[in-house]
Structure formats: C-alpha cells, structure tokens
Amino acid sequence: MLSGADAHALFMKKPIMWFEIPALDLNRASAFYEKILAVTLNRTDMGPTSLAVFPYDRDQATGGTLITGPGFKPSKEGVIIYLNAGESLDTVLERVEPAGGAIFLPRTPLPGIGFYAQFGDTEGNRVGLFATA
C-alpha cells in the first residue's frame, strides 16, 4: 500500500488516472473486450455498480473498467478513450467485427508517432485504439 505522499507523487505524474466504459450487459461487454484485446478482465461489485477491470500495472499505467449501474449509459458521443492495442493495431482491429463490434475509423497514421482507429463496441460506445505499429 502506498503512503499518502507516495500516492500523491505517483498519481500527479499521470494526467489520466482512471477510465470507465459504460455497459448495458457486463457479460457481453467483458466477452467483447477480452476477445479483441486478448486479456482477462477482473470482475467485482462495488455497491450498486458492477465492474470488469482491465489488467494494468498501477505504477506504470492508467487503469480502467467496464461498468454497469445507475448513471452509466453507453454513448457514441462525447469523450473518446484510446486503448493500447499492443504490438499490432491490425491484430486488434481484425477481432472487432467477429466479436460483435463495428469499425468506425480504420487504421489511420499519426506520422512519427503510430497509428490509431476507432470502433463501436457491443454496448454502443465509440472507443479508440492506438499502437506504434
């Protein structure tokens, strides 16, 4: 466990601390993201909300979750988060449609930085992907 001062120093270096992707059906959403990202999400309940947390290294990366509960509504409008597609953007994009999603923006170059794309998930959210290759 981090002390208050250690936590403050660590977290102030991260401009994004946490993200939440709303879901209507947590089982369906979890299956979708586990399939396209080839990861296992950690399920838990917190009061009236249910979560499926993406794996992350608390010291090195921003964490986030799929979430269902009062006040959470999927949307294609508003803020777009970009998930790390790992070694290959194309590998993840190839999994989107078979998993039940839709490609909104295909692989697009960011010269000198990498590539990005956007997709619609099974819950109705617009989500981005980023990779260096």
Q: What is the pLDDT of residue 87?
A: 87
Domain ranges, ordered by start, for the chain: 16-131
Whole-model pTM: value is: 0.84
Pick the CATH number of 16-131 from 3.30.70.990, 3.10.180.10, 3.80.10.10, 3.10.620.30: 3.10.180.10
Paired strand residues for 13: none
Residues contacting 37, CB < 8 A, separation 6+: 54, 83, 85, 86, 92
Q: pLDDT grade, residue 59 (50/70/90)?
A: confident
Residue 71 near residue 23, CB atoms below 8 Å:
no
Which single residue is written with the structure tokens 């959210």? 125
Q: pLDDT grade, residue 62 (50/70/90)?
A: confident
pLDDT, tens digit, 9 for 90 and up, residues 69-128 = 999 999 999 889 999 998 899 999 999 999 999 999 999 999 989 999 999 999 999 999
Q: Is the pLDDT of residue 19 over 80?
A: yes
Residue 101 near residue 121, CB atoms below 8 Å:
yes
Residue 127 near residue 75, CB atoms below 8 Å:
no
DSSP conformational letter for 54: P
